[in-house]
Amino acid sequence: MSRGALSFRAVRKVYDPEGKAVLALDGVDLDIAPGEFCAIVGPSGCGKTTLLNAVAGFETLTAGAIQLDGRTIATPDASAAPGEDRIVVFQNGALFPWRSVMWNITCGPVMQGRMSEREAREHGLKLLARVGLKGCEDKYPNDLSGGQKRRVEIVRALINDPAVLLLDEPFRALDALTKSVMQEYLLELLVQFPKTVFFITHDLEEALFLGDKVVVFTSRPGRIKEVVSVDIPKPRSHEVLTSPRFLELKAALSAVVHTEAMRAFEAGEKEMAR
Amino acid sequence: MKSLATAASAPSATPAERGVPLSAGIRKYVHRHFDLVVGAATLIAFFLAWQFARPLGIPGLSAVEPPTKVVAASWDLLSSATFWTACYKSVLRILAGFALAQIIGVPIGLMMATNRMAFHTIFPVTEILRPIPPVAWIPVAIIFWPTREMSTVFIVFLGAFWIVLLNTIGGASTIDESYRRAALSLGSNRWHLFRYIVLPATMPSIVTGMVVGMGISWEMVVAAEMIASDTGLGYLLWQSFEINAGAQVIVCMLAIGIAGFVSSALIGRVGRLLTPWQGRR
Burial B165-189 (b: 16+ CB within 10 A, else e): bbbbbebbeebeebbbbbbbbbbbe
* Helix-strand-coil split of chain B, %, nearest 5: 85, 0, 15
Looking at the predicted structure, is the pLDDT value of residue B55 above 90?
A: no
Q: Residues of B numbered 141-180 whose beta carbons fall under 8 angstroms of chain A's beta carbons: which are they? A: 176, 178-179
Strand residues in chain B grouped as ranges (E): none
* CB of A149 closer than 8 Å to CB of A93: yes
Residues of B in contact with A90 (CB under 8 A): 178, 181-182
Q: Closest partner residue to B186 among A58, A98, A111, by Cβ?
A: A111
Distances (CA, A) of B89 to B152, B220, B247: 11, 14, 22
**pTM: predicted TM-score of the whole model, two decimal places:** 0.83
pLDDT digits (tens, 9 = 90+) for A21-76: 888 899 899 999 999 999 999 888 788 999 999 999 999 999 999 999 989 999 88
Over residues B69-93, mean pLDDT: 92
Residue B58: pLDDT band by 50, 70, 90 thresholds? confident
Residues of B in contact with A94 (CB under 8 A): 176, 178-179, 181-182
The answer to whether residue A111 neighbours chain B at the CB level (below 8 Å) is yes
Q: Closest partner residue to B181 among A58, A98, A143, by Cβ?
A: A58
Contact B188 A99 (CB under 8 A): no
Domain spanning B75-274: CATH superfamily: MetI-like (1.10.3720.10)
Contact A98 B176 (CB under 8 A): no
Q: Residues of B numbered 187-216 whose beta carbons fall under 8 angstroms of chain A's beta carbons: which are they? A: 187-189, 192, 196-197, 200-201, 203
A111-120, B75-84, B96-105: range with highest mean pLDDT: B96-105
Where exactly does CATH 1.10.3720.10 map onto chain B?
A: 75-274
CA B266, CA A214: separation in Å to the nearest integer? Answer: 57
CA B24, CA B22: separation in Å to the nearest integer? Answer: 5
Mean pLDDT of chain B: 89
Window from B5-9, B89-93, B231-235, B260-264 with minimum mean pLDDT: B5-9
Residue B19: pLDDT band by 50, 70, 90 thresholds? low
Q: Closest partner residue to B185 among A83, A96, A142, by Cβ?
A: A83
pLDDT digits (tens, 9 = 90+) for B214-268: 999 999 999 999 998 899 999 999 999 999 888 999 999 999 999 999 999 999 9
Pairing of strands A86-89, A164-168: parallel
* CB of A57 closer than 8 Å to CB of A80: yes
For A42, the 3-state DSSP assignment is coil
Judging by beta carbons within 10 Å of its beta carbon (0-12, 13-18, 19+), is residue B193 exposed, middle or buried?
A: middle
Residues of B in contact with A160 (CB under 8 A): 186-187
* CB of A128 closer than 8 Å to CB of A137: yes
pLDDT digits (tens, 9 = 90+) for B167-207: 999 999 999 999 999 999 999 999 999 999 999 999 999 99
pLDDT of residue A1: 55
For A10, the 3-state DSSP assignment is strand
Mean pLDDT of chain A: 90
Over residues A4-18, mean pLDDT: 88
Q: What is the 3-state secondary structure (H, E, C) of B115-136?
A: CHHHHHHHHHHHHHHCCCCHHH
pLDDT of residue B96: 96
Over residues A70-97, mean pLDDT: 89
Looking at the predicted structure, is the pLDDT value of residue A157 above 80?
A: yes
pLDDT of residue B2: 44
pLDDT digits (tens, 9 = 90+) for A213-247: 999 998 888 889 999 999 999 888 888 899 999 99
Query: What is the spatial order of strands in the sheet that A6-15 belongs to?
Result: A22-32, A6-15, A63-68, A71-74
Judging by beta carbons within 10 Å of its beta carbon (0-12, 13-18, 19+), is residue A175 exposed, middle or buried?
A: exposed
pLDDT of residue B125: 93
Identity of residue B70: V
Looking at the predicted structure, is the pLDDT value of residue B12 above 50?
A: no
A38-47, A140-149, A260-269, B50-59: range with highest mean pLDDT: A140-149
pLDDT of residue A159: 93
